[in-house]
Structure 1
Amino acid sequence: MGRRSTQVSVATAVVATALLSFVAAARSSFPEDLAGAPRLGGAPWLVGELLVLAQAVLLLLRDRAPLALVVTAVAAPLGALVGLGPAIGATSVAVLVAAYRVASRRVDARGGGSLAVAAVLVATGELLAQRGAGAPAGQAVAGAVVQGLGVAGLGALVGVVVGTRRETRAARAEQLRAETGERTAMVEAAVARERTAMARELHDIAAHHLTGIAVMSAAISKQVDRDPAAAKEAIEQVREQTTSMLRDMRGLVGMLRSTGQDPTVAPTRESLDGIPALVEAARERGEPVHLIRSGPADRPGQDDVGPLVQLAAYRTVQEALTNAARHAPGQECRVEVDTTSADALRLTVVNDLAPAARRPSPSRAGFGLVGMRERAELTGCRLEHGEVDGTWRVTLAIPIDDGPRLAAPSVEGTTT
């Protein structure tokens, strides 16, 4: 029994008592219309008062039980039998409240049955009261039907509306909780992806530069006695590589720390226009790498491909060059930029395979190809890699939307 139930039960008793007393008191003012009403303080009035109080107590004890609705409605025919007459409506107040409570939960078979029985009992009480007052049979039946359907139906209608709104609010709250949980899960997944991307970026930067340093260090060990000048130049290149690696890593960490930088803007150097610099840096390390462009000079660049796609393309070429230097050192390598198609820009890195005895075992493979594949999937590109006619080929197809139809292919010379 909650505080609200107590308040509703008390209010029901007060309203029913006031209605019963008002009709009894008005009998003297309207003797013809209220001839069958009980006298104030008389026996029928006292019995009617006990009935409405019993109804209020039943509402308090049984709260929303369908049985409480039926038992409460029994007071209507009982009141008519003890002589409440026109004051029989006082017993309908509790029935109205009970019907509302039953319908506000959920109108199932049991609840619907209790509403029907209550309507019949209220109608019976009204019929007995009108017939006792001498009303014609037709008028008494019509009044009884209206009273029964009005009391039970009105309470049920209000209860259904309120219950539906309550369920709607609950459903919205549940949906909001689900959406909040989904957003939280999406944020956590995004954080996990960002952590993976951070690790991949650091791997790409460190692996690319350290591979070049390792290659140049091997050359320095042979040049230091035979060609000191070349050894000094190679040492300078090692210094440049380490400086570049530190700068790239510092830039990446700084970008991750920054809260105001737009994450969709890639550094200018790490874009399609930075690929020639990658090739040139590899050539300076002594790697046999060449750049070949197929297509017109106005190839897609910064304004034609999104910054995240350009960063993915740059990293793919960088990783492919690193893998070529690591797994096939000294072998010819080509970076091909093909802009002949109006639908896609194709970047291909091809290197001759190392002798079988020098190839790394599959168990020693790193995460370079995995990183390339994930970058391609995240940016809507298509990545292909594998052995083709004694070479290892990595191809990244970058889609171009609404691009102009490009001219027939033309091949430029290698970079110098």
Structure 2
Amino acid sequence: MNDLRMMPRLITPVVVWLITTSLLVAAPSLDSVDPSVAGSPALGSGGWWVALVVLTAQAVVLLERGSRPLPVLLVVAAAPVVVALSGAGDATSLSSAAVLVAVWSAVTSTPLPDRVRALAGALAGAGLLVAVGTSLSQTSIGLPAGTAILAGLVQGAGVIVLPALLAATVRARRDAQAARTDLALAVEREQSAQIAAAIAEERTAMARELHDIAAHHLTGIAVMTGAVERQIDTDPAGAKESVRHVRTQSTAMLRELRGLVTLLRSPGQAEDAGGQERLSQLASLVEEARRAGLEVELSTLGTGAAIESVGPLAQLSAYRTVQECLANAARHAPGAGCVVVLDTQDPAEVVVTVRNGPPATPVPSGGRPARRGLGLVGMQERADLTDSILEAGPTAEGGWQTRLRITA
């Protein structure tokens, strides 16, 4: 495993060493073709061996460019001076290949902005070393001092400035991509926290409501049924009155349980808990959405009598689900057609399907990452409460479909 991790570190130094040493070996032969431009050391001479050792040392030092990029840059940039002082002549330029790699690593891996001054200093120092080494090598092969210095400055700028600018551009693009990724992750974590908080709040409210119902109504019912048991033989009139009280308490409890279901809807929807919405009222809901501008149609398959086999809580859950789907279609797919299908053909279940097409015009995002709402979470909570099955997801045409299966 360690060997596999070292492979990327080894590849670049090995490639640089192979290229530069191959050119060092081939340079004397190339110079012999045109003696007027000969400036490389003879094969096997002292300068040639010094150049070979320095090029090898550069490749070894480059292995540490990831952990210590700035020291590596300065050490590698000192190589042209050493090669030039050894009398290697034009072979000095071969050491610039390793400097290019070191500059790239220094710019792309140095922590910023806390070490920007150190990076600037290392680049300036490396450029000066390359310029000095090139000037010395050009002087040694007979160029005038002014020309040699100019050549050194050009070589230093070409080896340091241009690669640094390119590496800075690549780093800026990489940092921007990383920032966008971090922003998306932060938004995702925020959404998860909001969903968890909403669910916890709803569960707390449900527990509080259930406690109140149990403490008030069920306790009263238990007391009154105990009285009925004692009165049924001795005081029939009193027993009938107690039964009427039991009926009153039971009706009130059912009404409050119906209100408890509304706690499962998405935050921000202020709906009256006292109203009992049913599947038979879907036509009114669709008509209301149509008046609001949504292109929606209602299709009923089967007989309406089968709806009565569905309990009131399940009917309220289905009604709220359709209501949420129509609101989502109007919000996220403006101008798209929408179809609500109430299928009661199977006597064992009632299936409610809401399907809308893709938006007629793109919905502006405002330049911020898309946020998932909490509506789907509320729908799933309602379905779980009534032992129903919720299926929701995009369609092949680019729209959205939500299907709720209710056991009859």
Normalising by structure 1, report the TM-score. Answer: 0.53
Corresponding residue to 1:102 among 100, 106, 111: 106
Kept after mapping to 1: 8 A contact 2:220/2:249? no
Q: Counterparts of 1:20 and 1:252 in 2: how far apart (Å)?
A: 87
Match runs of 1:196-235 below 5 Å: 196-206=204-214, 209=217, 229=237, 231=238, 233-235=240-242
> Structure 1: which amino acid aligns with 2:57?
A
Give 1:58's aligned amino acid. Answer: V
1:237 and 2:240 are equivalent in the alignment: no
The letter of the residue matching 1:150 is G
Deviation, 1:158, is: 3.6
Is it true that 1:151 corresponds to 2:159 in the alignment? yes
1:235 maps to a residue whose letter is S
Tell me which residue corresponds to 2:95.
Answer: 91
1:195-344 to structure 2, matched below 5 A, reads 195-206=203-214, 209=217, 229=237, 231=238, 233-244=240-251, 247-248=254-255, 270-271=274-275
1:80-135 alpha-carbon deviations (Å, 9 max, x no partner): 22233233211101111112222222353222212111101111111122223333
- Mapped pair 1:6 → 2:13: no
Counterpart of 2:195, as a letter, is V
Deviation by residue 1:209-268 (Cα, 9 ceiling, x = unmatched): 4598699899999x9999965x45523423423543564577678889x9xx98999998
Equivalent in 180, 192, 196 of residue 200 of structure 2: 192
Confirm or deny that 1:80 pairs with 2:87: no
Q: Aligned equivalents of 1:198 and 1:185: distance in 2? A: 20
The farther-off stretch of 76-85 and 207-216 is 207-216
Letter in 1 for 2:74: V
2:62 pairs with 1:51: no
What is the Cα deviation at residue 27 of structure 1? 1.0
Cα-to-partner distance string for 1:168-219 (whole Å, 9 max, x where unaligned): 4544454444444333332322222011121233245446645986998999
Code of the residue aligned with 2:93 in structure 1: it is G
Cross-structure match for 1:114: 122
Distance 1:8 1:109 in 2: 27
Count of aligned pairs: 271
Given the superposition, is the C-alpha separation of residues 266 and 177 from structure 1 closer, same or farther in structure 2, using an over 3 Å criterion?
Answer: closer
SS in 2 for 1:11: helix
Partner of 1:134: 142
**2:62 maps to amino acid:** L
1:405 is aligned to: none
Report if aligned partners of 2:259, 2:274 keep a CA contact under 8 Å in 1: no
Indicate if the aligned counterparts of 1:73 and 1:121 stay in contact, CA closer than 8 A. Answer: yes
Choose 61-70 or 245-254, whichever is displaced more. Answer: 245-254
SS of the residue 1:2 aligns to: helix
> Which range is displaced more, 262-271 or 82-91?
262-271
The CA deviation at 1:23 is: 3.1
Identical pairs, percent: 39
The amino acid across from 1:50 in the alignment is: V
Q: Matches of 1:183 and 1:268 in 2, distance apart?
A: 27
How far does the alpha carbon of each residue in 1:31-55 deviate from its partner, in whole angstroms, 9 at most, with x for none? Answer: 32x3212234443222211110011
Give the Cα–Cα distance (whole angstroms) in 1 for the partners of residues 137 and 244 of structure 2: 111
| 2:32 is the counterpart of 1:28 | yes
Root-mean-square deviation over aligned CA pairs: 4.4
1:343-402 CA deviation, whole Å, 9 max, x = no partner? Answer: xxxxxxxxxxxxxxxxxxxxxxxxxxxxxxxxxxxxxxxxxxxxxxxxxxxxxxxxxxxx
Q: Which residue of 1 aligns with 2:71?
A: 67
Superimposed CA distance per residue, residues 255-301 of structure 1 (whole angstroms, 9 cap, x where no aligned partner):
89x9xx9899999872399xxxxxxxxxxxxxxxxxxxxxxxxxxxx
CA contact (8 A) 2:227 2:239 kept: no
- CA distance in structure 2 between the aligned counterparts of 1:262 and 1:109, rounded to whole angstroms: 53
Q: Describe the SS at the equivalent of 2:34.
A: coil
Structure 1 alignment gaps of length 5 or more = 274-301, 304-310, 312-416
Counterpart-to-counterpart distance in 2, 1:3 and 1:269: 66
Which is greater in Rg? Answer: 1
**Structure 2, unaligned runs of 5 or more:** 278-287, 290-315, 317-408
- Aligned match of 1:123 in 112, 115, 131? 131
The secondary structure found in structure 1 opposite 2:32 is: coil
Q: 2:193 & 2:272 partners in 1: Cα distance?
A: 33
Take 2:273 and 2:56, find their aligned partners in 1: how far apart are those partners? 87
**Paired residues of 1:88 and 1:125 also in contact (CA < 8 A):** yes
Normalization by structure 2: what TM-score? Answer: 0.54
